[in-house]
Structure 1
Amino acid sequence: MSALDQVLARARGLVGRWEDEDCGTVTVKDFCRYAAALNDTDYIRRARAREAAGAAVEAPALFLAATMSWEDGPAERDLRPDGLAARESPCTAGLPVRQVHGGQTVRLGRAPVAGSRVTASRAVTSAERKQGRSGAFVLLGLATRFTSADGTELTAVDETVVVLEALEPPDSPGAA
C-alpha cells in the first residue's frame, strides 16, 4: 500500500470524529503577541488602554483562525521535513509524504474576550484521492470549531490540505 493510500485509509477512518482541545483562558497578552506578529501596534495600544481602564478586551478578528497550536510548539528538530509539527499533519505520522495548504474558509462569530476559556473541536471532514498533472495526491478536508465555555461558536475554520508523496532528495538513487 502506497503512502497516499495509507493517508487515505487513516483519514477515512477519522471522518466525522470530533476531538476537543481545551485551549485554556485567552489573555490580552496572547492577543497582543498575535497583533505584534502582524505589526498591528494600533491594536496593541487600544487593547492595553482598555485593559488598564478595566474594560473588556476582544481578540483581533483572525486570532483564533491563525493559531495553529496552543502549546509552545515542537523544537525545530521535531518538525516534519515539510516544516509542520506532527500535530498539524493529520493522518500522516511516519509516512513519506509532504503537505501544502489547499485553502481555508473562516467564519467569524463572536470575538473571544480576554479572560474567557476557549475550546477547539477538530475533525477530518473528507478524504479523496485525486490525480493531477504532476501525479497523485490526497485532499483532506478539516474543520475546526472554536467555542466559548457556554458553547457559543466564536470562529469556524474549514480547510483543505493537499498531501503528496515525499520528494526524493537530489542525491538519492531514484532521483533524476
Structure 2
Amino acid sequence: MYLPSLLRGPDGAATAEYRPDGMFADEVPGTAGLDVRLLAGGQTIEFCSTPPLGVPLEVTRTVNGVDWKGSDGGEFLLITVSKTYRVTGSVTLAIVTERFIVR
C-alpha cells in the first residue's frame, strides 16, 4: 500500500489542489467541480514487479464502474477506479483497484 500512497497526488500540492473532503482534485475521474464528498470504499492491490530506484513512474486511471447503492433516501454512488502504475512506457509495477463512495 506504500506505492499508491506515495504516488497519490502531485508533489508539493497547494491547498487549491485538494477537495473539501481532503482528497486530491483529480483523485476520482469525473468528480472534479461537483459538490460531493468522497469516502474511501475499499482497495485491492496486485503487485506485478519490483519498483526500480530512481526511475520515473506513470499512472493510468480507468473508471471501471459507477453503481447506485442504498435505498430510501440514503442513496449514494460507488465508483470503481483502477490505477495502473508503470515504469514510464514499460513494466507494470502494480494495479490498484479502489472504490469510492460519492455522497
> For 1:144, which of 83, 90, 95 is the aligned residue?
83
The alpha-carbon distance between structure 1 residues 156 and 80, as it changes in their structure 2 partners (threshold 3 A), is: same
TM-score (norm 1): 0.52
Find 1:83's aligned residue among 4, 7, 22.
22
Distance between the aligned counterparts of 1:91 and 1:71, measured in 2?
A: 22
Instruction: Give distance in 2, aligned partners of 1:113 and 1:133.
Output: 50
Normalized per residue, the structure richer in helix is 1
Q: What percent of counterpart residues are identical?
A: 29
**Whole-Å separation in 2 of the counterparts to 1:134 and 1:103:** 23
Q: Partner of 2:53: helix, strand, or coil?
A: coil
> For structure 1, which runs of at least 5 residues remain unmatched after alignment?
1-61, 165-176
- How many pairs are equivalent? 102
Select 2:9's aligned residue among 69, 79, 86.
69
Identify, as 1 or 2, the structure richer in strand.
Answer: 2
Alignment equivalent of 2:33, drawn from 82, 91, 94: 94
TM-aligned CA distance change 1:154 to 1:138, over 3 Å? same
The alpha carbon displacement at 1:124 in A equals: 0.7
Distance 1:63 1:70 in 2: 16
Name the counterpart of 2:60.
121
Q: Partners of 2:70 and 2:53 in 1: how far apart?
A: 45
How far residue 107 of structure 1 moved from its aligned partner, in angstroms, is: 0.8
Cα 1:78–1:149, aligned 2, differ >3 Å: closer, same or farther? closer
Distance 2:17 2:55 in 1: 31
Q: TM-score, normalised by structure 2?
A: 0.83
Q: For residue 145 of structure 1, report the CA deviation from its aligned partner.
A: 0.6
Partner secondary structure for residue 120 of structure 1 = strand
Q: Tell me, in whole angstroms, the C-alpha distance in 1 between the residues paired with 2:47 and 2:72.
A: 36
Secondary structure of 2:4's partner? helix
Q: Please list every run of at least 4 consecutive aligned residues from structure 1 whose deviation after the TM superposition is greater than 4 angstroms.
A: none
Cα pair 1:118 1:147 within 8 Å, conserved: yes
In our comparison, the structure showing a higher alpha carbon Rg is: 1
Q: SS of the counterpart of 1:97?
A: coil
